[in-house]
Amino acid sequence: MTISELTAQAESILTEVERAVVGKREALELVLLGILADGHVLLEDFPGLAKTLIARSFAHVTGMTFSRVQFTPDLLPADITGTDVLHEQHGVRSLSFLPGPIFKNLILADEINRTPPKT
């Protein structure tokens, strides 16, 4: 992929995301840079200003899977990594793994600041 092709594709991604998130072009560009760099992005803003919508929109537009983790005081490791589930059918027991949100492409860790250090 050439630089001009990448630029055109990045512009089309930003245009699509801007259909849902209006007035945050600079923040959207920085989020896209984080995605292209295979990195992490910290979105800090007041409550209700489209942080979840930004993450969900980028996941949808780029074809990635999305998950959101609400950091609460009762959060357990299995809430993030997943857990084994026991199935019992006709006297036969079996275990199956139910994957947690960590197995998605794009994860939103929400309200980390509201969680006690123990969590």
The two tokens of residue 99 are 């994957």
Say if residue 119's pLDDT is above 70.
no
Rounded CA gap, 111 and 72, in Å?
8
Nearest to 109 by CA among 48, 40, 46: 40
Q: List, for residues 4-31, the tens digit of each pLDDT value.
A: 999 999 999 999 999 999 989 999 999 9
What are the tens digits of pLDDT across the range 28-49?
999 999 999 999 998 888 888 8
pLDDT band, residue 115 (cuts 50/70/90): confident
Q: Point out which residues pair with 2 in neighbouring strands.
A: none
Query: DSSP character for 100?
Result: -
15 closest CA partner among 61, 75, 81 = 61
pLDDT tier for residue 116 given thresholds of 50, 70 and 90: confident
- Which residue in 69, 21, 109 sits closest to 13, CA to CA? 21
The total of other beta-carbon atoms located within 10 Å of residue 98's CB is 9
Q: Are 34 and 40 in contact (CB under 8 A)?
A: yes
* DSSP bridge pairs for 68: 108
Is pLDDT of 117 > 70?
A: yes
